[in-house]
């Protein structure tokens, strides 16, 4: 009715109520909107704690996020990075990327810390090393289209973009589900798998 997308409405709420430069407060403001106004497919606070724990345990210097959406997961990842780390995030929808860019910068993260790349993941991944300088990633967070999880994991493998001992964190593999990705991860012999039980966001 307003002529704006729900992602834009959420950003306007965040802009009006969140403290600029405070990533934690920006995430909490997003949560308030999603609990009380409109649902967004963000990571949310419950699964966010799992992401935070993995970041603390791994302390990755090079992080790749597939599926920026509104920038919630990006801010969550960026605030947990160790000093000198860099985050590359890929979003296929230019409208979502436009919102995410504003959210990321509002949270206080510069392009030196967080680089947002707009384009289909299957086109961007093969160019990550040559065009964006990502030699390999210590942590990959997958939160885009579930049907793309396996394809993109294989692309990362074939382009040698996974550092030795890299961690792949994939959201919603049970529901809505990414069964082929899950089967591959469990049976290919390259990965140790752990399923984190969690609720759907909000």
**Residues marked as catalytic:** 143, 146, 171-172, 201
CA distance 164 to 175: 29
Going through 48-194 in order, the beta strands assigned E by DSSP cover: 62-66, 86-91, 114-118, 137-142, 162-170
Neighbours of 54 (CB within 10 A): 17
φ/ψ (deg, to 5) at 51: -60, -45
Sign of the torsion angle spanned by Cα atoms 50, 149, 29, 23: positive
CA distance 190 to 158: 13
CA distance 85 to 106: 19
């Amino acid at each position: 009715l307003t002529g704006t997308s729900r992602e834009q409405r959420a950003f306007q709420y965040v802009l009006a109520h969140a403290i600029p430069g405070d990533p934690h407060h920006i995430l909490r403001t997003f949560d308030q909107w999603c609990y009380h106004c409109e649902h967004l497919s963000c990571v949310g606070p419950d699964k966010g704690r799992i992401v935070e724990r993995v970041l603390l345990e791994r302390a990755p210097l090079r992080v790749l996020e597939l599926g920026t959406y509104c920038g919630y997961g990006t801010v969550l990842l960026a605030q947990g990075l160790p000093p000198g780390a860099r985050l590359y995030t890929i979003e296929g929808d230019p409208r979502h990327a436009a919102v995410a860019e504003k959210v990321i910068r509002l949270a206080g993260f510069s392009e030196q810390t967080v680089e947002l790349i707009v384009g289909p993941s299957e086109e961007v991944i093969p160019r990550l090393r040559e065009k964006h300088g990502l030699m390999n990633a210590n942590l990959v967070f997958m939160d885009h289209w579930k049907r793309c999880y396996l394809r993109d994991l294989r692309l990362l493998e074939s382009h040698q973009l996974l550092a030795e001992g890299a961690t792949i964190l994939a959201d919603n593999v049970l529901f809505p589900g990414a069964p082929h990705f899950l089967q591959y991860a469990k049976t290919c012999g390259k990965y140790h798998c752990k399923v984190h039980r969690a609720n759907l966001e909000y």
